[in-house]
């Protein structure tokens, strides 16, 4: 994404032209950015040779998943729906892992019938359900056990998953107990120990603590895991402030770890693969000026992009055309939804804006469209992909008939 003669382009395509053709609000993805992110991710861990399973929860658009699959990644899914999406996108079942605290009997049965690579179990009851399914299908099921290492990921509290107050995984004594149980089961093949401490992590130190916790389990159980699934969580730079995860430190530590334990690594990244390749294109409906605030009311709302309302997430909001004139007054970029939390950002100054101008919300590729809803009976936004200087519609805007049916 860049400005040429003050006009915003995504992969050399003029954003205003895209908006003219597809309307607003529209999610727009850059294929080049996606590909670049995948190459960088692989490069950051090239001394480890991991199985990289894209976390489908971050973005479940089938066309995007197809591109991700073609670039060599597998999938991490958390529901039957996501599993079907991954399979529809031609991702091989032997590159699919199934995570999540509440997999139902039917979901486990379906996953087993599709012969996916791994089910990461998160409770004793879930393991019992897996055994039940294995007995019925007469097939041993590959599983992992998810450890809750009680490590603070130093991220937004709502997207922290590895503290003992979080619902995810099992504490170390429960993990040891279940390893011993699985060792003796003829229905289960315990292949993996998994862990995932949270999302948008920019400090490598929590990851190092997490590795230590995993090492403790290996030492205590004396079990040879074929795989260690280290989850995802790698943060991206939403604020243009050069804050980046120290991949070098993390990968060096993992390298030592795999040498010591003779094991292979799985990653489940979502945000770091797709986050900065997505843009939400919107148009200003009205500008409402009050004494202290200019409310810039755009046609995308919290139903289209939930993250700011949900956990005060920061997204840059930029104009499709840059102008020189600056207005030194607070600007609140808000949507049309009838909620006060329907606000994207508040800025102390902004360039002079007019009703009808196009505005782009950045870095929305992950946990953007997937978290959207039809609140206020608003329709699903379009999704488009820019690839090789062409624009493809990859999901149609919803219709009111379909919603009301
Ligand atoms: C189990 C699991 N794996 C992977 C991810 C992906 O995380 P991220 O998008 O931060 O890489 C998540 C999301 O929180 C998760 O819960």
Q: How far away, in angstroms, is 214 Cα from ligand 1 center?
A: 18
Residue ending a domain, among 239, 267, 295, is 267
Between 204-221 and 172-183, two packed helices, what is the crossing angle to 10 degrees?
Answer: 40
Indicate whether 22 and 116 sit together in one domain: no
Q: How far away, in angstroms, is 270 Cα from ligand 1 center?
A: 6
| pLDDT value of residue 167 | 87
**Structural domain contains residue 298:** yes
Indicate whether 174 and 247 sit together in one domain: yes
**Structural domain contains residue 82:** no
**pTM, full prediction:** 0.96
* Atom number, ligand 1, closest to the C-alpha of residue 269: 11
Listed residue (98, 102, 110) closest to 137, CA to CA: 110
Residue ending a domain, among 229, 244, 267, is 267
**Structural domain contains residue 35:** no
**Structural domain contains residue 317:** yes
| pLDDT value of residue 204 | 96
We report the CATH number of the domain holding residue 292 as: 2.40.37.10
Listed residue (189, 181, 52, 45) closest to 115, CA to CA: 189
We report the CATH number of the domain holding residue 248 as: 3.20.20.10
Is the separation of the CB atoms in 124 and 173 below 8 Å? no
**Structural domain contains residue 72:** no
Indicate whether 260 and 281 sit together in one domain: no
Q: CA-based Rg of the chain, rounded to a whole angstrom?
A: 23
β-strands 278-289, 26-30 pairing: antiparallel
Indicate whether 112 and 254 sit together in one domain: yes
**Structural domain contains residue 137:** yes
Q: How many domains does the chain have?
A: 2
Indicate whether 393 and 323 sit together in one domain: yes
Identify whether 338 is a catalytic site residue: yes
Indicate whether 104 and 134 sit together in one domain: yes
Q: How far away, in angstroms, is 234 Cα from ligand 1 center?
A: 9
Q: How far apart, in whole angstroms, are the C-alpha atoms of residue 16 and residue 227? A: 47
* Binding site membership of 153 for ligand 1 (Cβ less than 6 Å): no
| Residues constituting the chain | 405
**Structural domain contains residue 14:** yes
Residue ending a domain, among 237, 267, 297, is 267
| pLDDT value of residue 241 | 84
Indicate whether 112 and 248 sit together in one domain: yes
pLDDT tens digits in sequence order for the chain, 405 residues long: 899 999 999 999 999 999 999 999 999 999 999 999 999 999 999 999 999 999 999 999 999 999 999 999 999 999 999 999 999 999 999 999 999 999 999 999 999 999 999 999 999 999 999 999 999 999 999 999 999 998 888 887 888 888 888 888 999 999 999 999 999 999 999 999 999 999 999 999 999 999 999 999 999 999 999 999 999 999 999 998 878 999 999 999 999 999 999 999 999 999 999 999 999 999 999 999 999 999 999 999 999 999 999 999 999 999 999 999 999 999 999 999 999 999 999 999 999 999 999 999 999 999 999 999 999 999 999 999 999 999 999 999 989 999 998
| pLDDT value of residue 154 | 81
Domain extent at residue 166:
100-267
């Amino acid at each position: 994404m860049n400005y040429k003669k003050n006009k915003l382009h995504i992969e050399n395509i003029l954003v205003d032209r895209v908006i003219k053709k597809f309307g607003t609000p529209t999610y727009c993805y850059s294929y080049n950015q996606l590909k670049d992110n995948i190459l960088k991710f692989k490069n950051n861990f090239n001394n480890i040779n991991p199985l990289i399973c894209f976390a489908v929860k971050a973005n479940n658009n089938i066309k995007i998943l197809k591109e991700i699959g073609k670039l060599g990644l597998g999938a991490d899914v958390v529901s039957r729906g996501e599993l079907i999406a991954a399979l529809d996108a031609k991702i091989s079942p032997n590159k699919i892992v199934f995570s999540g605290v509440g997999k139902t009997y039917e979901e486990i049965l379906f996953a087993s019938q599709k012969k996916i690579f791994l089910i990461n179990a998160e409770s004793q009851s879930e393991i019992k359900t897996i055994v039940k399914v294995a007995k019925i299908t007469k097939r041993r099921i590959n599983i992992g056990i998810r450890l809750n290492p009680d490590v603070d990921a130093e991220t937004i509290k709502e997207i922290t998953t590895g503290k003992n107050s979080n619902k995810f995984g099992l504490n170390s004594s429960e993990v040891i107990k279940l390893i011993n149980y699985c060792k003796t089961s003829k229905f289960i093949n315990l292949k993996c120990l998994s862990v995932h401490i949270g999302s948008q992590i920019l400090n490598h130190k929590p990851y190092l603590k997490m590795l230590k916790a995993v090492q403790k389990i290996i030492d205590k159980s004396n079990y040879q895991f074929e795989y260690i699934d280290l989850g995802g969580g790698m943060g991206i730079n939403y604020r243009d402030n050069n804050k980046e995860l120290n991949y070098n430190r993390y990968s060096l530590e993992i390298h030592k770890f795999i040498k010591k334990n003779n094991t292979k690594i799985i990653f489940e990244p979502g945000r770091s693969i797709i986050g900065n390749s997505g843009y939400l294109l919107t148009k200003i409906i009205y500008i409402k000026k009050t004494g202290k605030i200019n409310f810039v009311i755009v046609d995308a709302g919290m139903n289209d992009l939930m993250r700011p309302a949900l956990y005060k997430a920061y997204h840059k909001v930029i104009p499709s055309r840059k102008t020189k004139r600056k207005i030194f007054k607070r600007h609140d970029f808000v949507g049309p939804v009838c909620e006060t939390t329907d606000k994207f950002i508040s800025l102390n100054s902004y360039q002079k804006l007019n009703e009808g101008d196009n505005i782009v919300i950045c870095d929305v590729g992950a946990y953007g469209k997937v978290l959207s809803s039809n609140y206020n009976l608003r329709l699903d936004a379009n999704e488009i992909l820019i690839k090789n200087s062409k624009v493809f519609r990859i999901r149609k805007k919803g219709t009111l008939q379909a919603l009301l049916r």
